[in-house]
Amino acid sequence: MADKKAGFLLKPKRDEDKNVVRLFFVFVGVFILMGFLKPALFLQKGNFISMATQFPEYGIMAIGVSLAMISGGIDLAVVGTANLSAIFAAKYLIATTSQGTPAFSIVIAVLLALAVGLAAGAFNGFLIARLRIPAILATLGTQQLFTGFAIVMTEGRPLSRLPILYSRIGNTELFGLLPVPFILYVLVAVAVGVVLGKTSFGLKLYLVGTNPKAAIYAGLENTRILIRTYMLSGLLSSIAGLIMMARANSAKADYGAAYTLQCVLIAVLGGVDPNGGFGTIRGVTLAVFILQFLSSGLNMFEHISNFYRDVIWGGVLILALIFNWIIARRNEKRSMLHIS
């Protein structure tokens, strides 16, 4: 019995390792390809700093989407949550920085944004776990709801006149190489990776995503686990919103409108199973880098219009889904052969 249990636990681990190895080779291949096609532009120090500044905002949201997908759901409200959180923070900063210490106002604004992200995630979790609304419908609805709130709060205009100290902190480059957004992404990725791989919550999340009914019979509180998962996704979205606000030195209801598709693409490309129960932050991080290399490389080709960007991302998403399906089918056949 112990050997069977060990085999059951080790098999997903082996599959995850194989997926990370495949992604690493793709990562290296894309890097070499872009470096070969545009060496004078792609291999510049300034380009790497620019990429390290750009990807954290959607990369952190992609981690949130990945957590929801591991649980067997999805979070399509990450962009709406990010913008709503940033707008609350921006309104507070605009209202208070002229009356007191900017540093203290920034701390309170950040905490306020994080609280909004947690509340938005808790609302998503309530709809999905308590009311049993399908995750794709619940979060699609809340995405529109949060965006609507943001539009009402801003009257459709960007909120500017933020304290320069906030933007300066958010766009600082440590040692002239490491942008603050990149450092935040690394901290978030490491923290979430530890939660998934080293805590009981992470194990329970995988179990719920693999088989919700079996998790209930095993004594797990699926409702509480799902609500916590979406709260964590909302928290990550609010961090991404704060990064976007620092980069643009403003907040608006429709910033990052194209990020939803990219976040789903990153999760799937990173090996997260849309059906739940499988995926790692290492894979997601490699997928983030791959997508950023592709995006930056495509920007260097003048004859490739930005209008083709969604076509390319959609095509890559379909190819990733087909590839994952083929791998899953192959693993299923191997499992059947072992059983027989």
Q: pLDDT per residue over 236-278, tens digit each?
A: 999 999 999 999 899 999 998 889 988 998 999 898 988 888 8
Which domains does the chain carry?
18-339 (1.10.3470)
CA distance 241 to 245: 6
3-state secondary structure of 79: helix
CA distance 111 to 253: 20
From 50-64, 85-99, 179-193, the region with the lowest mean pLDDT: 85-99
**Model pLDDT, residue 120:** 97
> Looking at per-residue confidence, does 316 or 339 come out higher?
316
- Which strand (E) or helix (H) includes residue 274? none
Residue 158 near residue 250, CB atoms below 8 Å: yes
**Model pLDDT, residue 340:** 56
Angle, CA 111 vertex, CA 105 and CA 116 arms, to 5° = 125
> Looking at per-residue confidence, does 189 or 173 come out higher?
189
Which pTM was predicted? 0.89
**Model pLDDT, residue 331:** 67
DSSP classification of residue 304: S
pLDDT digits (tens, 9 = 90+) for 212-221: 999 999 899 9
Confidence label for 15 from pLDDT (cuts 50, 70 and 90)? low
> Looking at per-residue confidence, does 309 or 252 come out higher?
252
Residue 109 near residue 89, CB atoms below 8 Å: yes
Q: Which long-range contacts (CB under 8 A, 24 or more apart) does 170-173 make?
A: 170/242, 170/243, 170/245, 170/246, 170/247, 171/53, 171/246, 171/247, 173/49
Residue 260 near residue 107, CB atoms below 8 Å: no
3-state secondary structure of 179: strand
**Model pLDDT, residue 6:** 40
pLDDT digits (tens, 9 = 90+) for 93-122: 998 876 666 888 899 999 999 999 999 999
CA distance 215 to 191: 25
DSSP classification of residue 159: B
Torsional sign, CA 150, 154, 155, 160: negative
Q: Give the total residue count for the chain.
A: 340
Q: Is the pLDDT of residue 295 over 70?
A: yes
Confidence label for 339 from pLDDT (cuts 50, 70 and 90)? low
> Which one-letter amino acid corresponds to residue 5?
K
**Model pLDDT, residue 10:** 44
Average pLDDT of every residue of the chain: 87
Confidence label for 294 from pLDDT (cuts 50, 70 and 90)? confident
Q: What token pair was written down for 85? A: 């959180």
**Model pLDDT, residue 14:** 60
Q: In 111-266, where do the E strands start and end?
A: 173-174, 178-179
Torsional sign, CA 178, 182, 184, 185: negative
> Looking at per-residue confidence, does 191 or 162 come out higher?
191
DSSP classification of residue 244: H
Residue 124 near residue 139, CB atoms below 8 Å: yes
**Model pLDDT, residue 99:** 63
